[in-house]
Each structure stands twice: as structure tokens, then as C-alpha cells.
Amino acid sequence: MIYLDNAATTKPDKECLKAAEKYLYEDYFNPSSLYKDGYKLQAEIKAAKTNILSFIANTDNYDLTFTSGGTEADNQAIFCGGKRGNIVVSSGEHSAVFASANETKQRGLEVRFAKIKSDGSVDVENLLSLIDDKTSLVSVIHVNNETGAINDIFDIAKKVKLKNKYTLFHSDGVQAFGKIPFKLTNDIDLYSISAHKIGGVKGCGALIRKKRAIIKPYIYGGGQEQGLRSGTENLFAIKDFEFAAVKKYSTIKNNYQLVLNLQEKLWEKLDKQLFTRISALTCSPYILSVSAEGVRGETILHEADDLGLLIGTGSACSSNEKKRFSRTIIACGYPESVADGVLRLSLSPEITLDEILKAAEILNKIVSNRRAIMA
């Protein structure tokens, strides 16, 4: 099996799972317990927060709230950060942000959607034109989950603050954390991350928050996570997340170059008579979006599956919406004929060159055969 759908989820790292196993079988106590075996686990949670934060943020200025994943972190940012007036989000947001923004509209908040460019990056001038003195929140995805476009969120956030210093700036960093090197600047108020995109287990993520940024809880109950996210902490998943982050960041620059080389080879071997490139050359090396115009992406996906190649046609989180065309690809300005044939090929450092060459061979063969049938 060749797995090229790492933007949907990654294979859990066995070493990290083994290291975290003790929090299932030995230190399984409730961290909110008052007896010493439970209470001492609060220190383990604090250590996990510090370690994860330290890779991308100044721990003196930022804090971290563990959630059930990137989707919950995005929801908390939108519903609890966008409190009044209007909010501005890009049209290329992950569905966790886009759907949440639409829901806030139903609840009486004005929502303004900024245009995106052909590669999926936000049109910054258009975004800034939508901000006024009533804008409470702006959300711009760091790495587009369908095209891999990298938004310069640090420059964008700075410009947002110049227009309205009271506006909270949020970014969905799920496809950036552990994959591209960066450090959060003080203009970033909220940042969402997820464990299972970097070799951790599903069901754990976090919302990073600048300490001076005031937001309300999204889930109420026993007051865990400094009152910002109630519910008994999933210590096993939290520690596994920590260990996965430590491992990823120890080789992040080498992994970036390795994956970039693999992406370049994959595009080189894909037949340019059959495929159009959607992703820009400056996109994240972990995502290559292409289109086999005239052939349905879903058809290619299923035929590739039969041949041992697993790929995506866009965001896995949007597959349940039963929409034929990707909202993001259409917003990029592509016609439905192109959107219908989009494939998302997402990589990891564990993929071999032989697998890349084989994947290109399979995709070329499938699309070539389909074109011949349709001729």
C-alpha cells in the first residue's frame, strides 16, 4: 500500500505510542484528583503544554488549552473569539472554520468572507478592506488544507492590527504545525493545532492563546484547563501529542527538504498532458493538488485504491458534505470541469522515492485509460 493522504491523517508513531502507554496502564488516574497519584499528573500536563508551545511560541506570552482536536480548537476560536460586530474569514478556510463562521451568521453576527487567489492563498487587500472598527475576529488559515498554499499570517496579522488593534487574529495551523518552521509573533492571538497530523493519535488538539487575549470557554463543566475547556483530560493522548511534537521538531528542517524533493519528483513524473497543477511552487511541500480535467477525481481515487494507492480528492473533513465540487477550488476561480478532477496528494517523510515513482505511474495509467475510454 502507498499512502498519499497524510493531510487527512498520519500513521501514529510507534515510539511515541510506546512512551505514552504508561498513561493508559500505570498513571491512569484522573489529573483533577486530590490524592497524590492523580494530582502529580497535573505536572505532566503542564510539561506537555510547555514542550509543545516552546517549538512555535514564547511560553511567557502564550498559553495552550488542550481540546479534542483541531476542529474543536477552531470552533472555540470562532464562537468564543468572535463576540460582537462582524468577523472576517478567508474563503479558503477549513470547514471547521468556514462552517462555524456560517453558524455565527445564523446567531446574528455579521460574517464577511475574503476572496482567495488561484493557489488558495488569501487575497490580503480584499481581506483588509473588509475590516472595520466593529471587526472582533479575523481568521486566516496558515497552510491551506487542499492546495497547500502558505499564507504569511504574520504579515497579515500585523496589517490587521494596524486597521483595528482590538481585533483578535486566529489561524488554523493544523497543516503547518510540525511541518514548516515558524514562530508565532505577538500579532497572533489564537492558533489551532492537531496531534494526528504529525504522528499523534486522533482525538487530541490544542488552541494556543496569547495570554492577554480574552476568550470564553466553549465546553463547560468541571473547570479543567484553567476553566477554558472542561472535561477530564485525555492524558494518554496529550503525552503522545507531546512526544510526537518533540520527535517532529527534532528533524523538521530535514523533513521539509526531504518532502520537498519527493513532491518535486512526483510532479516531475506526472504526465503534464493529463494533469494540471493547482498548488503553487511556493506551497507546502506536504501537499500537491492537481487536476485531471475531464475525469472525476472520485473515480480516480477508487481505481487507485484498487491498485494499492490511497489518495484524497480534497479535505477529508468535507467528504461527508456530499458536494461534488470543492468549495475551496471553486473559490480559487477554477471552472467546475477542473474542480471535478482535483486530487490532493499529501506526503510525509516516511514515503520512499520508489513509492513516489509507483504512485505517479499508477495515476498516469488510470487517467490515460479513462481519457482513451472517453475519446
Backbone angles phi, psi at 372, to 5 degrees: -65, -40
Strand 342-346's sheet: what is its strand order? 276-277, 287-291, 342-346
Q: Are strands 168-172 and 135-139 parallel, antiparallel or unpaired?
A: parallel
**Taking the mean position of all CA atoms in its chain, how far away is CA 235?**
22
Is residue 103 helix, strand or coil?
helix
Give dist(CA 214, CA 224) in Å, integer: 17
DSSP 212: T
Name, in order, each residue with C-beta under 8 angstroms of 222's C-beta and a sequence gap of 6 or more: 32, 230, 231, 232
User: Are the C-beta atoms of residues 83 and 134 closer than 8 Å to each other?
Assistant: no
Concatenated DSSP letters of 276-321: EE-S-TTS-TTEEEEE-TTS-HHHHHHHHHHTTEE-BSS-GGGGGG
Active site residues: 317
